[in-house]
């Protein structure tokens, strides 16, 4: 304490006692709370450090460098956290990548805080059109997604450079295509997709789903839909438990999470997610335990792998 007092000197308010505190904003030395309050009142000082205060280069320290770096980090990431809060209020699990990732650099999604509308960057990929990719920099969340993609399917409004690649799509029209969104943040059990409803808005279609930076929608022709395994709900994959509160309709009548999967052959598999307690799930009566398992765990009747391969090849 003696070293600190010698370094700070006397209190600049009362000039009687040794100073103990330094104001972060105006750097006035005070000895107690009473003197600190007096200096705030007399100098109209808030006591909050000015992060952009000018400092001579000769007095610039490593602490000042770190402060400037943290300020820049806070300024550049502030809008991202606001956007994340806005997407969370819409029940959308939105994740942004580090700034050096190209997908993050390309993302033009932003929140208009005046109207509270999210303008999304959306990529449209046409697999049966030479995998051509069309990009919309700003799409409003309150417009039907069918009207967004229809500008590529309508020959009257489609760009001339795209007509040659999208001939089959334009012949099929909106009723002959399916809009597929890749299911993110799921275990490695293959690649799964959500089928979006063209009659709903972009906001309604993304609710309850995970989006990394911006949505990439695959526009698939009717006869090629079987190549995309659809996942109606990924509630069984617990990224965090808050989704169970936000989407109570995802639960069945027993309070357990249900899921529906459709494989490439069009077979619908339904199941129930159940958490097993291997520590206290022991029973002496093996017959009753087997009977209970048969009741609670319905058979999915999944064909063997070689049968699936033969069906897919045929």
Tell me, what's the pLDDT at 303? 65
**Residue 84 CB neighbour total at 10 angstroms:** 17
DSSP 8-state class, residue 10: B
Q: 222 vs 53, which has greater pLDDT?
A: 222
Is the confidence at residue 246, as pLDDT, over 60? no
CA angle (91, 93, 95) in 5-degree steps: 150
pLDDT band at 118 (very low <50, low <70, confident <90, very high): very high
Please state whether beta strands 177-182 and 93-95 pair in parallel, antiparallel, or not at all (unpaired). unpaired
The structure's pTM equals 0.55
271's tokens = 């199941």
pLDDT tens by residue, 175-196: 889 999 988 877 756 788 888 9
The whole-number pLDDT of residue 184 equals: 85
Question: Looking at the predicted structure, is the pLDDT value of residue 245 above 60?
Answer: no
Q: Domain 63-231 belongs to what topology?
A: Ubiquitin-like (UB roll) (3.10.20)
Instruction: Say yes or no to pLDDT of 55 above 60.
Output: yes
Contact between residue 200 and residue 145 where contact means Cβ atoms under 8 Å apart: yes
**Given this model, what pLDDT does residue 288 score?**
45
Percentage of the chain beyond pLDDT 70 is 69
The rounded distance, in Å, linking the Cα atoms of 23 and 19 is 11
Q: Chain-wide mean pLDDT for the chain?
A: 75
- DSSP reduced 3-state for 196: strand
Q: Distance of alpha carbon 246 from its chain centroid, rounded?
A: 15
Domain boundaries of the chain, sorted by first residue: 2-50, 63-231, 236-314
pLDDT band at 200 (very low <50, low <70, confident <90, very high): very high
pLDDT 10s digits, 262-294: 444 444 444 444 444 444 444 444 444 444 445
pLDDT at 278: 42
| Pure H helices in the chain | 2-8, 33-43, 62-89, 102-106, 145-153, 160-163, 167-172, 202-206, 242-246, 286-296, 305-313
């Amino acid at each position: 304490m003696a070293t600190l007092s010698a370094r700070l000197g006397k209190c600049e308010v009362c000039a009687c006692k040794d100073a103990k505190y330094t104001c972060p904003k105006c750097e006035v030395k005070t000895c107690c709370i009473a003197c600190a309050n007096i200096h705030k009142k007399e100098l109209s000082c808030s006591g909050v450090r000015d992060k952009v205060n000018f400092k001579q280069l000769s007095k610039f320290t490593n602490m000042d460098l770190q402060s400037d770096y943290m300020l820049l980090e806070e300024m550049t990431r502030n809008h991202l956290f606001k956007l994340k809060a806005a997407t969370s209020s819409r029940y959308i699990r939105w994740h942004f990548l580090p700034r050096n990732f190209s997908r993050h650099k390309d993302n033009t999604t932003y929140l208009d805080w005046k109207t509270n509308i999210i303008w999304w960057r959306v990529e449209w990929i046409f697999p049966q059109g030479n995998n051509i990719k069309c990009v919309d920099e700003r799409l409003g969340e309150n417009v039907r997604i069918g009207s967004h993609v229809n500008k590529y399917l309508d020959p009257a409004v489609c760009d001339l450079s795209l007509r040659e690649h999208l001939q089959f799509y334009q012949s099929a029209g909106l009723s002959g295509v399916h809009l597929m969104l890749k299911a993110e943040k799921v275990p490695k059990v293959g690649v799964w997709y959500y089928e979006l409803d063209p009659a709903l808005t972009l906001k309604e279609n993304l609710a309850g789903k995970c989006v990394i930076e911006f949505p990439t929608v695959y526009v698939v022709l009717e006869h090629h839909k079987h190549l995309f395994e659809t996942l109606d709900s990924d509630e069984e994959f617990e990224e965090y438990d808050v989704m169970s509160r936000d989407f109570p309709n995802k639960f069945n009548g027993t309070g357990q999470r249900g899921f529906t999967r459709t494989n490439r052959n069009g077979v619908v598999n339904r199941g129930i997610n159940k958490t097993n307690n291997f520590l206290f799930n022991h029973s002496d009566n093996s017959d009753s335990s087997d009977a209970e398992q048969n009741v609670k765990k319905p058979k999915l009747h999944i064909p063997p792998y070689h049968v699936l391969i033969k069906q897919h090849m045929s």
